[in-house]
Amino acid sequence: MKFVFALIFLLIGCGSRPIIPDKSNLVVTRETPAPECENMGNIIGRTMTVTGSKDSAVDDLKEQAANKGATHLQVHQFSDMGTAVTGTIFKCP
C-alpha cells in the first residue's frame, strides 16, 4: 500500500508545472511567430524606477509573459522615455 502512495506522489510531482514560471525559456523576437501559435493578447512591460531602463521594462514584459504561460513574446515598441514596452504573447506547440 505504501508503494502505491509513493508511486502516486512521484507521478504527481513529475507531471506538475513549476510554481514560479521560468522566463528564461521564453523566445523573444520582433517577428510574428508561426501561424500555428495561439495569440494570447497584448501586454505592457514597465519599469517603476526613475532611472529605469529598456532592459528592466523588457524584463517586466518577460515576467508577465511567463506568468501567463506564453512560449513566445513579440516585442513591438518602447515608450519615448524607454520606461515602457508593448508586446504580444503567444503559446506555440
- Full-prediction pTM beyond 0.75? no
- pLDDT tens-digit series, residues 31-65: 999 999 999 999 999 988 767 778 888 999 999 99
Question: Would you say how long the chain is, in residues?
Answer: 93
Buried-state track 38-48, b at ≥16 Cβ within 10 A, e below 16: eebeebebebe
Q: Show the domains of the chain with their CATH numbers.
A: 2-91 (3.30.110)
Q: Annotate 6-68 with three-state secondary structure.
A: HHHHHHHHHHCCCCCCCHHHCEEECCCCCCCCEEEEEEEEECCCCCCCHHHHHHHHHHHHHHC
Q: What is the mean pLDDT of the chain?
A: 81
